[in-house]
Homo-oligomer: A and B are copies of this chain.
Amino acid sequence: MKARVHVTLKPGVLDPQGKAIAHALQALGFDGVNEARQGKVIELDLADDVAGDPEAVRARVDDMCRKLLANTVIETYRIDLDA
């Protein structure tokens, strides 16, 4: 089973990397980009013995997010499970 975790900065948190992207796009002639923000995606390949009940898997991945993958002070995360 695959789990995909999207980690993005909370609204209002300064995102210099996103600002750099927006500037670079403008410099390349792409007008009309109001804002760019950059986040992370982490794709986890979970062993079959772990992947049983989707709710249990989600709870486990949520635990991983809170303990390692996301900094919940400044970031939010979203978990997508693929069968």
Contact = CB atoms under 8 A, between A and B. Distances in A.
A58 interface: no
Interface string A14-55: 000010010011001011111111111111111101100000
Contact of A43 (B8, B32, B64, B69): B8
A55 B66 CA distance: 38
A45 B60 contact: no
Question: What's the number of copies of this chain in the assembled complex?
Answer: 2
Contacts of A28: 64, 67-68
Contact of A32 (B24, B30, B47): B47
Contacts of A38: 40-43
Contacts of A50: 31-33
